[in-house]
């Protein structure tokens, strides 16, 4: 069997420590936690920078996505789903073939060139363009957990933080120039709510603007740029979000806002990007039909709130040191019979928890109860339900909370209620 690489490349701590002096490989490192909690791995046979999500990791990922999708539907987005590859022609129109070629995976079949998608934007544009659009429909907001592939030099890859295949919590907003300020305002509110749910209450903002000394570097007119930059700055001011203006840091196609979350250790991580685009609407000629019956140019905003899901997952597990809150924990309750004598009652508890929608796991091993508790502690499972003689007779469970210890004798209903309270946004 070939060497199989786990989250920690070859588990060579000292080597990694040298490579990443700024980020010590502590027990709170997502690569260590990813292995300890059996969340994900990276296999050399599959390729570096390509993540394999294990069942527990997939559960967390799906919980994040379910929450994210529900919130997006509540906030006027429509969900879309697009292919992983597209003809070279699409990327020629979008400009990626000229400007982004070295980061793209290209291949050909039957003499036709294809690209493995590095971005979702051209696909969402195609959906917008599938029929004529009236100004009355705007803003149109398309959202997708879109998996993209970008070539990165192998030396720059780092656990889940920098990978070659990743999923963006992507969305594109098509609107008129007049609608932009309101869109950005509600987008900032929305971002705040989403990030708060994941335990990030503090963040900082950067506003990347163009360098007025080098107008030739940018697409779009001076008026378009100042209008867009003003709309972004005004929204930040209205929301009272302190920001640094990064002059000359904007990409050629438009200004942007980046939000950095501050984690439990005080480190800043860039997650959210809200990006203006003067380039793609022109290249694809996306318009809407105005009140005058004529075609009008529209504005396009790219935005990802979590950024890359893999990267956000790494930030999240490090932020919580692996102790994910009950609503995100892959297993919420470990049911632990004190001995095999109480297995039948433990099975009943486990079944009832599952029936209530609780993610329960039954430890049916013949280990001692203290060993079972230690195992559940190592797995950072939020609740333990211990079933012994007393509990079986009383039809209750002795509940331990991770990191807190005993919280008393509860009925199954009471434990379910506690978990449901924690599940509420």
> For 341, which DSSP code?
G
With contacts defined by CB under 5 A, name the span among 4-12, 50-58, 244-252, 300-308 that binds Zn ion.
300-308
277, 310, 99, 283: which is closest to 172 by C-alpha? 277
What Å distances lie between residue 13 and 8, 18, 99, 115, 161, CA to CA?
A: 8, 9, 38, 37, 17
Work out the angle at residue 273's Cα, subtended by the Cα atoms of residues 270 and 275, and round it to the nearest 5 degrees.
Answer: 150
Residue 258 beta carbon to Zn ion: minimum distance, rounded to whole angstroms: 15
Residue 121 appears among annotated catalytic residues:
yes
420 Cβ contact list (under 8 Å, min separation 6)? none
Please state the separation of Cα 58 from the chain's center in Å: 12
| Residue of the chain from 121, 173, 228, 397 that contacts Zn ion (CB under 5 A) | 121
Choice between 124 and 380, CB closer to Zn ion: 124
Phi, psi for residue 172 in degrees, rounded to 5: -130, 130
Between 301 and 324, whose beta carbon lies closer to Zn ion? 301
Segment interacting with Zn ion, rule: CB under 5 A, options 5-13, 56-64, 115-123, 353-361? 115-123
The verdict on 232 binding Zn ion (CB under 5 A) reads: no
Catalytic residue at 150?
Answer: yes
Q: Which is nearer to Zn ion, 39 or 121 (CB)?
A: 121
Residue 96 interacting with Zn ion (CB under 5 A): no
256 belongs to the binding site for Zn ion (CB under 5 A): no
In whole angstroms, what is the distance from residue 86 CA to residue 324 CA?
Answer: 38
Could you say which of 30, 256, 311, 400 is catalytic? 256
Active site residue 54: no
Cβ nearer to Zn ion, comparing 232 with 358: 232
168 is catalytic: yes
Q: Give the three-state DSSP class for 409.
A: strand
96, 121, 288, 363: the catalytic one is 121
Instruction: Establish if 133 lies at the interface with Zn ion (CB under 5 A).
Output: no
Distance in Å, CB of 168 to Zn ion, minimum: 8
For the chain, what's the residue count? 425
Among 96, 158, 164, 302, binds Zn ion (CB under 5 A): 302
Q: Does 160 bind Zn ion (CB under 5 A)?
A: no
Active site residue 170: yes
Task: Decide: residue 51, CB within 10 A, 0-12 exposed, 13-18 middle, 19+ buried.
Answer: buried
Is 27 one of the annotated active-site residues of the chain?
no
Among positive and negative, which fits the CA dihedral 214, 218, 224, 227?
negative
Q: Which of 133, 168, 311, 319 is catalytic?
A: 168
Measure the CA dihedral 116/122/127/133, to 10°: -170
What is the greatest pairwise CA distance in the chain? 80
107: helix, strand or coil? strand
280 is an interface residue for Zn ion by CB under 5 A: no
User: Which residues fall within 8 angstroms of residue 229, CB to CB, at 6 or more apart?
Assistant: 207, 209, 210, 255
Does position 90 interact with Zn ion (CB under 5 A)? The reply is no
Whether residue 265 contacts residue 238, with contact meaning beta carbons closer than 8 Å, is answered with: no
**Which of 173/398 has CB closer to Zn ion?**
173
Nearest distance in Å: CB 103, Zn ion: 14
Tell me if 100 sits within 8 A of 88, measured CB to CB. Answer: no
Closest to Zn ion by CB, 121 vs 288, is: 121
The nearest distance, CB 119 to Zn ion, in angstroms, is 5
84 is catalytic: no
Q: How many residues bind Zn ion (CB under 5 A)?
A: 2
37 binds Zn ion (CB under 5 A): no
Binding site for Zn ion (CB under 5 A): 121, 302
Question: Looking at the annotation, which residues are catalytic?
Answer: 121, 150, 168, 170, 172, 256, 302
């Amino acid at each position: 069997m070939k060497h199989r690489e786990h989250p920690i490349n070859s588990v060579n701590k000292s080597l990694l420590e040298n490579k990443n002096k700024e980020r010590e490989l502590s027990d709170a490192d997502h690569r260590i936690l990813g292995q300890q909690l059996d969340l994900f791995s990276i296999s050399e046979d599959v390729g570096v920078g390509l993540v394999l999500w294990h069942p527990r990791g997939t559960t967390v990922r799906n919980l994040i996505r379910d929450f994210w999708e529900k919130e997006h539907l509540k906030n006027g987005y429509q969900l879309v789903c697009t292919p992983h590859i597209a003809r070279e022609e699409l990327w020629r129109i979008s400009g990626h073939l000229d400007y982004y070629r070295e980061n793209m995976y290209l291949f050909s079949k039957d003499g036709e060139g294809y690209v493995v998608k590095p971005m979702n934007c051209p696909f969402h544009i195609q959906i917008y363009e599938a029929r004529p659009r009236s100004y009355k429909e705007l803003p149109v907001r398309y959202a997708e957990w879109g998996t993209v592939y970008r070539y990165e030099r192998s030396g720059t890859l780092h656990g889940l933080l920098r990978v070659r295949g990743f999923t963006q919590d992507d969305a594109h907003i098509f609107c008129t120039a007049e609608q932009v300020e309101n869109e950005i305002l509600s987008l900032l509110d929305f971002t705040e709510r989403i990030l708060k749910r994941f335990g990030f209450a503090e963040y900082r903002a950067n506003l990347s603007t163009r360098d007025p000394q080098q107008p030739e570097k940018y697409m779009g007119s001076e008026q378009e740029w100042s209008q867009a930059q003003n709309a972004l700055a005004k929204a930040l001011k209205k929301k009272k979000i302190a920001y640094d203006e990064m002059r000359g840091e904007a990409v050629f196609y438009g200004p942007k806002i980046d939000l950095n979350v501050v984690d439990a250790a005080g480190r800043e991580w860039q997650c959210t990007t809200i990006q203006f685009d003067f380039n793609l609407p022109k290249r694809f000629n996306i318009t809407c039909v105005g009140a005058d019956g004529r075609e009008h140019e529209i504005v396009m905003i790219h935005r990802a709130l979590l950024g890359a899901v893999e990267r956000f997952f790494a930030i999240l597990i490090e932020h919580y040191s692996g102790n994910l809150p009950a609503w995100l924990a892959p297993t919420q309750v470990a049911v632990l019979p004190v001995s095999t004598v109480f297995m039948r009652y433990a099975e009943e508890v486990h079944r009832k928890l599952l029936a209530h929608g609780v993610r329960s796991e039954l430890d049916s091993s013949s280990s001692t109860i203290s060993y079972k508790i230690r195992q559940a502690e190592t797995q950072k499972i939020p609740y333990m339900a211990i079933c012994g003689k007393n509990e079986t007779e009383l039809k209750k469970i002795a509940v331990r909370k991770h990191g807190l210890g005993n919280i008393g004798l509860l009925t199954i209903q009471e434990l379910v209620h506690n978990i449901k309270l924690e599940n509420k946004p």
